[in-house]
C-alpha cells in the first residue's frame, strides 16, 4: 500500500511517500504553494502519479492537544485533496515533528536555505513513518 504524506504549511507542503509494502517512508520533495486550486491540482497530480492509496496529513495540534487555525487549514486541505482524488485520508498528530526534523538536519551539518527546504520533506517523512508504524502495530496486535 502506497501512502502519500503531507506536512502542510502556509508557504510549502513537505511530501513523503511510503514503499509499496507500506513499511518505510522516504522524502518525496517540497511543493511551493500557489493558491488553493493550484495546490489541489498539483497535489492531486502527485498522488495519482505515485498511485497513492491513502493520504496521511500532519495536524499541527497545540501542545494541549487542541486544534488551532493551522490544524484546521491542514485538515481542510487534506479533506479537499482526498475528495479530489477519491482516496481515504488519515490525520496524524505532528506536534514537534518540525523541531525534530530541524534537529536531525543540524546534526547532519545542513545549513541555511537548504536546511529549511529539507526540513519540510523530513517532517513529512516523520509524520508518515509514525502513521505507518502505528498501522503496523495495530495490525499485528
Select from 36, 32, 29, 44 the least CA-distant residue to 123.
29
Q: Go through the domains of the chain in sequence order and give each one's CATH number.
A: 3-140 (3.30.420.140)
CB 60 within 8 A of CB 95: yes
Write the pLDDT tens digit of every residue in 81-115: 999 999 999 999 887 677 777 777 778 888 877 77
Write the pLDDT tens digit of every residue in 30-51: 999 999 999 999 999 999 999 9
**What's the predicted TM-score (pTM) here?**
0.88
Amino acid at each position: 500500500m502506497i501512502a502519500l504524506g503531507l506536512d502542510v504549511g502556509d508557504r510549502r507542503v513537505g511530501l513523503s511517500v511510503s514503499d509499496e509494502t507500506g513499511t518505510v517512508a522516504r522524502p518525496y520533495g517540497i511543493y511551493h504553494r500557489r493558491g488553493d486550486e493550484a495546490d489541489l491540482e498539483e497535489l492531486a497530480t502527485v498522488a495519482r502519479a505515485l498511485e497513492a492509496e491513502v493520504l496521511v496529513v500532519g495536524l499541527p495540534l497545540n501542545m494541549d492537544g487542541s486544534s488551532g487555525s493551522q490544524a484546521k487549514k491542514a485538515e481542510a486541505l487534506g479533506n479537499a485533496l482526498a475528495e479530489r482524488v477519491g482516496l481515504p485520508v488519515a490525520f496524524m498528530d505532528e506536534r514537534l515533528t518540525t523541531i525534530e526534523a530541524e534537529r536531525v538536519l543540524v546534526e547532519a551539518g545542513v545549513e541555511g536555505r537548504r536546511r529549511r527546504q529539507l526540513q519540510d520533506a523530513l517532517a513529512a517523512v516523520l509524520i508518515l513513518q509514525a502513521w505507518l508504524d502505528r498501522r503496523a502495530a495495530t495490525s499485528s496486535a
